[in-house]
Amino acid sequence: MAGTNHVKGHAIYPKPVQQPRPPILIGGNGPRLLTLAAAEADVVGFSGITFARGGVAPDFSGFRAGGVDTRLRLVREAAGARFDQLELNALLQRVIVTDDRRAVAEELVQRWTAVTADDVLASPFVLLGSVGEMVAQLLRWGLSYYVTQEAYADALAPVVARLTGT
């Protein structure tokens, strides 16, 4: 990439296990950042939300299903021939086990006023429902993997167990 800086004459310890280097993950939501990630990273991470104006103005356009599709298409085009070598991940913003997905989505939009309950239910950034419903949600998008915050680890554990067959 033009203008890329390189560090020379420096060694890190311990040496990385991965060769020739550890994989590079670049994640976010904005088109410029995702274009850079598609061209340079090994893993492209989707966050679903962009914060403008110093972090005080959340933009949920990439959170909605249509916005995710647009960003996936952008990454595919920017990556070109290397797209098949990329890993794609998404940051789960919430993982909630529930018998009533709609009711929980309605509660979430009380705080996330820029989206509707339907947006929440269709988004790859929120897992709501039973273990089976969550598994179906994860598989719908065809992403390599998901990451989330430690607070949701216990809720996600049975989903991971179902997906791995353990």
pLDDT tens digits, one per residue of 107-125: 999 988 899 999 999 999 9
- pLDDT higher for 69 or 55? 69
Q: Which two tokens stand for residue 152?
A: 């949701």
Across the range 51-78, mean pLDDT stands at 88
Find the mean pLDDT for residues 133-137: 95
Domain ranges of the chain: 25-164
The structure tokens listed for 9 are 């004459």
HSE at residue 98, side-chain half, CA atoms within 13 A, is 16
Q: 88-105: buried (b, 16+ CB within 10 Å) or exposed (e) per residue? A: bbbbbbbbbbbeebeebb
Strand ranges across the sheet with 25-28 = 25-28, 43-46, 87-92, 145-148
Q: What percent of the chain has pLDDT over 70?
A: 97
Per-residue pLDDT of 2-22, as tens digits, reads 566 777 888 877 877 878 888
Give the torsion sign (CA, 31, 35, 40, 45): positive
Please state the pTM of the whole predicted model: 0.82
Report the amino acid identity of residue 133. Answer: E
Statement: residue 166 has pLDDT above 90: no
According to the CATH classification, is domain 25-164 in 3.20.20.30? yes
Cβ atoms of 64 and 109 within 8 Å: the answer is: no
